[in-house]
Structure 1
Amino acid sequence: MTAYSPEDAPGRHGPFATAEAAPRTVGRVRTEYSPAHDGDPDPGEIVWTWVPYEENDGRGKDRPVLVVAREPAGTVLAVQLTSKRRDGRDRVPIGSGPWDRSGRESWVAVDRVLRLHEEGMRREACALDRMRFNLVRQRLRERYGWS
């Protein structure tokens, strides 16, 4: 694994920077479960990328995200993982897994969708199992009308 300083973390700057996507205006979105341990970001996989803070003030951090869909332009849509519990419809509990070395419980935040470029992320951490992916997928369908 390559060590990155926060300043040059993949997805932080330039044309491959991770950006927030407007989930209701991204067009037709078809979520799918298709992990393939081939080094490419696939729906159902957890990858790491720089995620800007919601304030969009240039700050952020390198964190795990769950890839949920491919876009025709070659980008992918993803939702971030968090270890901060917050009850409500915008968090889906997924338990713990190899994406967190400390073994903490995780939640997927579906209230914010990110657009990632393959060149702007580190490679796959692991694939989420289909059952937990489907819980996230269902919540995205309910919230945004995605198929």
Structure 2
Amino acid sequence: MRLFLLLMPLSLSLSCLASVGVAAEKQDHPEDWHCVTDHFSEALELNQERKPLYAMLSNGESEAISDALMTFEHQLTRNVAPTLPLARYYWRAGVPVLCREFVPIAESPAFADTFRAPLPEGKVKFANPMKLMMKLEASLMKG
């Protein structure tokens, strides 16, 4: 659920941008213009491969999470393509927006059948997306 809440603003932003529907011209994109669409399709593929492994470890309890995540990745893969021309101005200036923001899926950790927390229990603080949004809104209202 936390993952969903954290990714929802990105999904809404990309969906809104996708509704603009600007036509893409490949020559206006940097050499790696497809990096963002590749990221989502590769993430979808990786999660399809790992779904049965996670399901086996969780006695099937992870299937709903995997399905929701893959649905989200599929929607992003389909909806982000029309937004790429909006980044044309930056790409032409040599700024690869929508490319370096995403970690290559090839750098994902290998599957492990045991979990080793990166930090001791109790040391991890999760962000509260609603609190962050309210704080951002308040700062924007201040000016």
TM-score normalized by structure 1?
A: 0.24
Higher helix share: 2
Higher strand share: 1
Larger radius of gyration: 2
